[in-house]
A and B are shown apart, each in its own frame.
Chain A
Amino acid sequence: MSEQELLAEVERDLNIDDIDFSDLEEQYAVEKNFGLENYVVVDGAPVAPESKAPVLEKVLRKLFSKVAQVVEGDDGIYMPVEGGKTKGYLFVQFKNGEQAEAAIKNFNGKKLDANHKLYLNKLSDIGKYTTQVNDEFVEPEIADFKSHGYLKSWLQDEQGRDQMAMHFSETVGVFWNKKKNEPEAAIEPRKGFTSKYAKFSPRGTYLFSIHPQGIQCWGGEDFHSIHKFVHNQVRLVDFSPNEKYMVTLSPLPIEIPDSPEELARCPFGPESKGHKLVIWDLTTGEPARTFALPPHLEGQKEMPWPLVKWSYDDKYCARQGPDALAIYETPSFQLLDKQLVKIEGIVDFDWAPSGVHLNGSKGESEYVLSYWTPESSNQTARVALMHIPSKKVLRTVNLFQVSDCKMHWQDEGRFMCVKVDRHSKSGKTLFTNLEFFKVTEKDIPVEKLELKDVAINFAWEPKSERFITISNLDNGNTNPAIPRNAINFYAPETTTKNNIVTTKYKLFAEFTDKHSNTILWAPKGRFVVVATITKSNGEIEFFDCNYEDDKTTKKGGKNDTNVKLLRTEKYPGMTNMSWDPSGRFLAAWSSNWMHSIDNGYRLFEFTGNMLREEPIDQFKEFIWRPRPASLLSSADKKTVRKNIKEYSAQFDENDAMEADAATREAILNRKRKLEEWRAYRAHFANKNTKENNVEAEVIEEIKEVIIEEKVEAVEQ
């Protein structure tokens, strides 16, 4: 019998149903989802004609292959075609589940090109989520629109007064500046308003308070609550220049709660887990992007702040990392060109504070940023200007023996000054060079100004080419009591030689033997205060940089280089100063955060005349409410300037009336108090004066009587 016959016989005898196959079934059981995790649904791909489909498939295959292996051949990618066109979605099979995950992580939400953004989802997820969706459309509930009133109402004040917030003890109040008179409360001062500090947004629309749970935004005429930004233990806050975004930093990493209820209340998605830096959209109150803290900043005691710097119109923002700059576009907050800008050793960078009119850019405003890198073993230190979004380096300057660089942009973006602190070869003496990038001129020429001493401070005059430095004369004497600082005023000087116009910065005024360390220009220029802020001897000096006197009028009104020290004021406990947005008033204060000496504030006119002094216990901060840019055109401004006399007369009258009212009030108040007191005393007058007299007499009598008695007692 052949083998085959034998097998056939056995089969015939056996009843298959009787055999227990469970062990085998178990061994070769197929999982329900078997292989499904390898599949990914790709959505958002271009819709292409059928003829182009293979090309598209090839492109996508190549793209995904960067991070994961796609199964070879037709099984790898299936792209449905209908009516001669692809449908914009496709199915991709990867070698295994992990690779599919990797592809999703890398490509979900990424741009394929300018018009197409890819969305990748697991096939299994599609099944999981679509089954839970109700077939019937339910209208989502849209919350009623809640008006916050006119958020800029304070600008409509008839007298054009400015507002300020004052923070003392645990209380924050918003007040109207009434010059000499007691500030008028705009809202009832609120106790326990903030746990750290209060802050206005850069254009003054919102007021922010900081709490352990996050940040609260207030606004409108009555400063009602507008948004809550939940960010646990938030410490630092910053804003984009146009108030579109807010940046917050907390030392605690974001935790994503597990329970669905808490998750619904948590503003952050799972991708934010462990992040500490959050960019918020101020209008919606939602987070726009979160970042982890760069590793080199983790655990740092002093945090450089802001960590995110913004271009002048909020279009771009940038973060500095080790050896790289990350530039993001708003509102998507995606990396510009999807990659970091590698800059070896970058120490610091700054955006031009306004649009730059580069030579040859046909009057268009460009985005420019500056950065510097220190010396390394085979490279000089460098300061460079970069054009964004092209990332083209516009100009580089090489520097030697550099200790430190500080970049100072002029506020219109016309100039950028780099204060370079250099050391001699021995490293013993320091001196400063100022390198001026004339950004708007052809090829960006750089002018160098070599100083003999160390400039400890530098400040551009707003909307001008003038600047001030404070330099420190190092003559080997270390006695801190001897003033060694000099205040230097510079302006460009134009010389014409052989029809070639050259401008050079020239020192036109100098004040030596000072302790001064702080420069604060009035926001509209011309006036500047130079102050000494130290532990014990505060001093403020008010300068007018366009002083008009007989000398200048003789020269035909040109007084750009006529500096006059208007006034010197001593303020021993001073810790901070701030100009009001109009540049008419200067507030100086002694903050309880620094020390508890003489806490309170003083208000000065721009001429140095003190208007008001108010000691307040535990005074912490004086915050002027910023104003948005003026809506007047330059022609309108000219008209106002021409008719300034008429305008000022009107305000003078207001001032006089107000001052009189205040004095009258005070007198009436005293009169009332005096009457009250007389009435109070009259109440006692009748009985007490009598009693008093009697008492006095009685004392005399008793004294005599007692002595007599005593004598008698001895005699007895």
Chain B
Amino acid sequence: MRPIKLMGHERSLTQVKYNREGDLIFSVAKDSTASIWYSSNGERLGTLEGHKGTLWSIDVDSETKFCATGSADLSIKLWTVENGICVYTWAAPTPVRRVSFSPDNKKLLSVTDQVMGQLGTILIYAVNYDGDYSNQKAEPILTIPTRPDSSKVTVAEFSQDGKYIIAGHEKGEISKYDASTGEYIQSVQAHGIHNEEQTVSVTDIQLAPEDGSYFITSSKDKCAVLIDLESFEILKVYKADAPMNTAAITPLKDYVILGGGQEARNVTTTSENQGKFEARFYHKIFEEDIGRVKGHFGPLNTIAVHPDGSGYTSGGEDGFIRVHTFDNSYTEFYYDVERTERAIAAGTT
């Protein structure tokens, strides 16, 4: 598996995303420029310039018409993918840690940081998608502040049907809100319970590619957890040996990919083989470590899987994006029990 190495950012990557078709990769880093790339050959389609601070998050709508970026410069910008023009800028009260489109592209979710005396908050903006898109409503249509009995929100996503918002918190809990009313529904302590780690903040949420009925969360507590959306029960726990910054579920195969590594501030004191700067593949069902992909020489900050399951992209603290296409061994690998199951299925049909 020889990756395409994209060297377009000057600082650590913060998020990478595929569009729905998987032909484009969107990336943001701590420098203030977002990039869009062709996933097939790694050629850069263009850059989105205009922010004045670290970019924490990027998302693209399901039709690849717009993309949104959230930045530490207290703004969210909406861009047209076609020509890379910034069509609108929302002002946020604090740095924006996460942006995400709703499945129907009508809403944009953002997570603002808990600094400068403000509470960490999920803000939902209406997106004027079809009309005059340079004319957007500046005020959020819904504000979900951090509940008093909870800790600061770190990441959030819409559920696939758009009914819920799932949020991850600093103290490892995952909570569910009604996306239309902002009403709190339930929460589960997903992290910080599998070991005795002290830092347990949730670092990523990604939905199951098949139907979004479950999702994976990663955390600094060195674990990733699979949770059912409706019941909010913990289905699986994947244990790693370093803080995890990102986790993704693969289509096609029953795997999950975790990324992370030694904390960035400790990196200079440890050598590459001790830093655990690898993408880790676990079997989704058996929770077993099945393989690792080396390459980055800093912790992995973000991983995205190609929607058709043919590869994945990782962005690291080292400032590089690595676009991987899976080898045959990836698709051909089956556990003994899976093989038996397939044999039975083949025999009966």
Binding site for B on A (CB under 8 A): 169-170, 536, 572-573, 597-598, 600, 615, 617-618, 667, 669-671, 673-674, 677, 680, 684, 688-689, 691-692, 699, 703, 706, 710
Pick from B63, B210, B270: contact of A597, CB under 8 Å: B270
Between-chain CB contacts (< 8 Å), 21 pairs:
A169-B196, A170-B196, A536-B274, A598-B241, A615-B241, A617-B196, A617-B197, A617-B222, A667-B336, A670-B335, A670-B336, A670-B337, A671-B337, A674-B338, A677-B284, A680-B235, A688-B213, A699-B62, A703-B63, A706-B130, A710-B130
Point out the residues of chain A lying under 8 angstroms from B235, CB to CB.
680
B211 and A673 contact, CB distance less than 8 A: no
The chain B residue sitting closest to A672, CB to CB, is B337
Point out the residues of chain B lying under 8 angstroms from A597, CB to CB.
270, 274
The chain A residue sitting closest to B273, CB to CB, is A572
A667 and B337 contact, CB distance less than 8 A: yes
A680 and B231 CA atoms in complex are apart in Å by: 12
Shortest Cβ distance from residue B325 to the other chain A in the assembled complex, whole angstroms: 25
Binding site for A on B (CB under 8 A): 62-63, 130, 161, 195-197, 210-211, 213, 222, 228, 235, 241, 254, 270-271, 273-274, 284-287, 335-338, 341
Instruction: Decide yes or no: A618 and B196 within 8 Å by CB, A573-B274, A671-B337 being known contacts.
Output: yes
A246 and B84 CA atoms in complex are apart in Å by: 77
The chain B residue sitting closest to A615, CB to CB, is B241
Shortest Cβ distance from residue B322 to the other chain A in the assembled complex, whole angstroms: 24
5 smallest beta-carbon distances between A and B, as pairs: A688-B211, A677-B285, A169-B196, A615-B241, A671-B337
A598 and B228 CA atoms in complex are apart in Å by: 32
Instruction: Decide yes or no: A673 and B285 within 8 Å by CB, A617-B222, A688-B213 being known contacts.
Output: yes
A170 and B284 CA atoms in complex are apart in Å by: 31
Point out the residues of chain B lying under 8 angstroms from A170, CB to CB.
196
A572 and B271 contact, CB distance less than 8 A: yes
Instruction: Decide yes or no: A598 and B196 within 8 Å by CB, A674-B341, A703-B63 being known contacts.
Output: no
Point out the residues of chain A lying under 8 angstroms from B341, CB to CB.
674
Shortest Cβ distance from residue A597 to the other chain B in the assembled complex, whole angstroms: 5
A492 and B213 CA atoms in complex are apart in Å by: 74
The chain B residue sitting closest to A663, CB to CB, is B336
The chain A residue sitting closest to B340, CB to CB, is A671
B270 and A673 contact, CB distance less than 8 A: no
A674 and B63 contact, CB distance less than 8 A: no
Point out the residues of chain B lying under 8 angstroms from A691, CB to CB.
161, 211
B211 and A684 contact, CB distance less than 8 A: yes
Point out the residues of chain A lying under 8 angstroms from B241, CB to CB.
598, 600, 615, 617
Residue of B63, B196, B222, B228 most packed against chain A (CB within 10 A): B196
Pick from B62, B63, B271, B338: contact of A536, CB under 8 Å: B271
The chain B residue sitting closest to A699, CB to CB, is B62
Point out the residues of chain B lying under 8 angstroms from A169, CB to CB.
196
Point out the residues of chain B lying under 8 angstroms from A573, CB to CB.
274
The chain B residue sitting closest to A169, CB to CB, is B196
Shortest Cβ distance from residue B169 to the other chain A in the assembled complex, whole angstroms: 22
A710 and B222 CA atoms in complex are apart in Å by: 50
B338 and A692 contact, CB distance less than 8 A: no
Point out the residues of chain B lying under 8 angstroms from A598, CB to CB.
241, 274
A332 and B211 CA atoms in complex are apart in Å by: 80
Residue of B63, B196, B287, B337 most packed against chain A (CB within 10 A): B337
A691 and B160 CA atoms in complex are apart in Å by: 11
A572 and B196 CA atoms in complex are apart in Å by: 24
Residue of A536, A670, A691, A706 most packed against chain B (CB within 10 A): A670
Instruction: Decide yes or no: A674 and B336 within 8 Å by CB, A572-B271, A572-B273 being known contacts.
Output: no
Shortest Cβ distance from residue B277 to the other chain A in the assembled complex, whole angstroms: 13
A156 and B228 CA atoms in complex are apart in Å by: 48
Point out the residues of chain A lying under 8 angstroms from B196, CB to CB.
169-170, 617-618
A600 and B276 CA atoms in complex are apart in Å by: 15
Point out the residues of chain B lying under 8 angstroms from A667, CB to CB.
336-337
Point out the residues of chain A lying under 8 angstroms from B63, CB to CB.
703
Shortest Cβ distance from residue B262 to the other chain A in the assembled complex, whole angstroms: 8
Point out the residues of chain B lying under 8 angstroms from A674, CB to CB.
285-286, 337-338, 341
The chain B residue sitting closest to A683, CB to CB, is B213
Point out the residues of chain A lying under 8 angstroms from B222, CB to CB.
617
A255 and B142 CA atoms in complex are apart in Å by: 66
Shortest Cβ distance from residue A591 to the other chain B in the assembled complex, whole angstroms: 15
A673 and B254 CA atoms in complex are apart in Å by: 12
A684 and B337 contact, CB distance less than 8 A: no
Point out the residues of chain B lying under 8 angstroms from A536, CB to CB.
271, 274
The chain A residue sitting closest to B131, CB to CB, is A710
A673 and B338 CA atoms in complex are apart in Å by: 11
Shortest Cβ distance from residue B125 to the other chain A in the assembled complex, whole angstroms: 20
A684 and B229 CA atoms in complex are apart in Å by: 11
Shortest Cβ distance from residue A618 to the other chain B in the assembled complex, whole angstroms: 7
Shortest Cβ distance from residue B127 to the other chain A in the assembled complex, whole angstroms: 14
Point out the residues of chain A lying under 8 angstroms from B338, CB to CB.
674
Shortest Cβ distance from residue A378 to the other chain B in the assembled complex, whole angstroms: 52
Point out the residues of chain B lying under 8 angstroms from A669, CB to CB.
286
The chain B residue sitting closest to A688, CB to CB, is B211
A170 and B130 CA atoms in complex are apart in Å by: 59
Shortest Cβ distance from residue B105 to the other chain A in the assembled complex, whole angstroms: 10
The chain A residue sitting closest to B197, CB to CB, is A617
Residue of B254, B270, B341 most packed against chain A (CB within 10 A): B270
A326 and B258 CA atoms in complex are apart in Å by: 63
Point out the residues of chain B lying under 8 angstroms from A671, CB to CB.
337
A153 and B195 CA atoms in complex are apart in Å by: 32
A706 and B130 CA atoms in complex are apart in Å by: 8
Known: A617-B197, A673-B286, A699-B62. 18 other contacts (CB 8 A): A170-B196, A572-B274, A573-B274, A597-B274, A598-B241, A618-B196, A670-B335, A670-B336, A670-B337, A673-B287, A674-B285, A674-B338, A680-B228, A680-B235, A684-B211, A688-B210, A688-B211, A691-B211
The chain A residue sitting closest to B233, CB to CB, is A680
Shortest Cβ distance from residue B264 to the other chain A in the assembled complex, whole angstroms: 15
Residue of B197, B286, B338 most packed against chain A (CB within 10 A): B286
